[in-house]
Amino acid sequence: MARYDFDLITLGAGSGGVRASRMAAQLGKRVAVVEESRVGGTCVMRGCVPKKLLVYGAHFAEDLTDALGFGWSYADVSFDWARLIAAKNAELNRLESVYNRILRDNGVTLLEGRGVVVDGHTVEVGGQPYTAERILVATGGRPSLPEVPGIEYAITSNEALDLMQLPSRMVVVGAGYIAVEFAGIFNALGVKVTQVLRGETVLRGFDADVRAALAEEMTRKGIDLRCETAVKSIEKVKGGYSLRLSGDETLETDLVMYATGRRPNSDGLGLEAAGVKLNEAGAVVVDEYSRTSVESIYAIGDVTDRMNLTPVALAEAGALVNTLYRDRPTVMDYANIPTAVFSMPPIGTVGVTEAEARERLGCGLDVYLSRFKPMRNTLAGRDERTVMKLIVERATDKVIGLHMVGAEAPEIVQGFAVALKCGATKAQFDATIGIHPTAAEELVTMRDKRPDPSPECQE
């Protein structure tokens, strides 16, 4: 008779939780997944997927305008936001059914409700205890809101994805990737967008040239960037909301969206009572094998706040299954993980920023930077420019950072990420023949180093 009800109980049916559960079940393990919301998790239901669908929808505004420069003409073009939201919701329903089928087809038991960890081998769901040899916490994260008077009037990215009508005016508070993505979506669809951010520009942590290029293009597209500005309070007024900003400036709008950070979903799960250590931000503390302070409890994905990207959670799930059930202890490799921002224009990036490289290498790096108008924009009459940047370690000639702002940047950088993962050198980039005419060929034709701005590094 089995000692436990299951070999593995997973809390959270998001990307990481479903991947780990499915892989363990395929190896003959008895697995259950606990989910209190929709199967699919943040990425599929409240994040990457629905957001990208809205980005596609918003891009048609620019595509239609650009088409005029290529000889197209049209009349009576209109946009129906509610139709886009309905189509997006239908796609999410389809994806949820796909995820449910993945669990069923692999023999994974779905326990619907909120899971609470009682001890190292017990999870309670709706008052019913279930036991397992191991427990996996994969509950993801959620938007967090600051303590500002009137914050109850603000929405987050969750609610923004389900608006049934567009506002005329909107304030987006925040400077991170979620903030710039939603600012771009709503601005392209005709909403007057003001973005309020505490820092000097958008996307703290990204390469400085990337940040500057995106801020310039956002401003060019009509987004009102209020940098080094804070929201002091929000009041509901007739016809909308009034924001008091630093310096006692007021700003009236129809909708306020906050995108000022996310918090691990660790509250109310019984983790600390069960002996699982959390850090000050509420993230589950794990070792290199994703084990928590309790030997039988593991955690992956955003709830650990290591690198909060869906593909990373998927890779962590694979590494965990290798470790636990394939007798192949696997440590997750976080080096050279590519990422994208689906802003307008989008960003693709892999490797280190110039600032990170300088901190590590001092004068021992070469920087190549190219800024140009893509061919499509010449006939379209669009002023938008593409920026590409390579950072090279001089001693080894290895390309250690690659950054792009411009159309198709995420698609292009995904391919070049393989090169960086393989340790490609600048000489190998130079020896690669470009595909002409493409924007991507610029990354293998850059020959002129940018002069070093530091006097001590100048030859």
314-330 pLDDT, tens digit each = 999 999 999 999 999 99
355-396 pLDDT, tens digit each = 999 999 999 999 999 999 999 999 999 999 999 999 999 999
Spatial CB neighbours of 276, under 8 Å, sequence gap ≥ 6:
117, 137, 284, 292, 293, 294, 297, 299
On whether both 303 and 390 belong to a single domain, the answer is no
The whole-angstrom separation of Cα 33 and Cα 202 is 38
Q: Which residues in the chain land under pLDDT 70?
A: 1-2, 459
Task: Supply the residues annotated as catalytic.
Answer: 436
- The pLDDT score that the predictor gives to residue 36 is 96
On whether both 27 and 137 belong to a single domain, the answer is yes
Domain count, the chain: 3
Burial of 272 (0-12, 13-18, 19+ CB in 10 A): middle
- The pLDDT score that the predictor gives to residue 2 is 67
On whether both 10 and 139 belong to a single domain, the answer is yes
- Residue 457 belongs to a domain: no
Is residue 296 a contact partner of residue 133, using CB atoms and an 8 Å limit? yes
- Residue 204 belongs to a domain: yes
On whether both 212 and 193 belong to a single domain, the answer is yes
Residue 19 vs residues 26, 114, 320, 333, 359: alpha-carbon distances, Å: 11, 20, 10, 18, 37
- The pLDDT score that the predictor gives to residue 459 is 59
On whether both 370 and 405 belong to a single domain, the answer is yes
User: What range defines the domain where residue 362 resides?
Assistant: 339-452
Residue whose structure tokens are 């593909």: 311
On whether both 268 and 239 belong to a single domain, the answer is no
- The pLDDT score that the predictor gives to residue 454 is 79
- Residue 360 belongs to a domain: yes
Name the pTM for this structure.
0.96
- The pLDDT score that the predictor gives to residue 309 is 96
**Sign of torsion over alpha carbons 302, 35, 332, 288:** positive
On whether both 320 and 351 belong to a single domain, the answer is no
Q: What is the DSSP letter of 113?
A: S
Write out the E strands in 354-396.
365-372, 386-393
- Residue 458 belongs to a domain: no
On whether both 246 and 352 belong to a single domain, the answer is no
CATH number for the domain spanning 319: value is 3.50.50.60
On whether both 17 and 128 belong to a single domain, the answer is yes
- The pLDDT score that the predictor gives to residue 457 is 84
- The pLDDT score that the predictor gives to residue 94 is 97
On whether both 10 and 129 belong to a single domain, the answer is yes
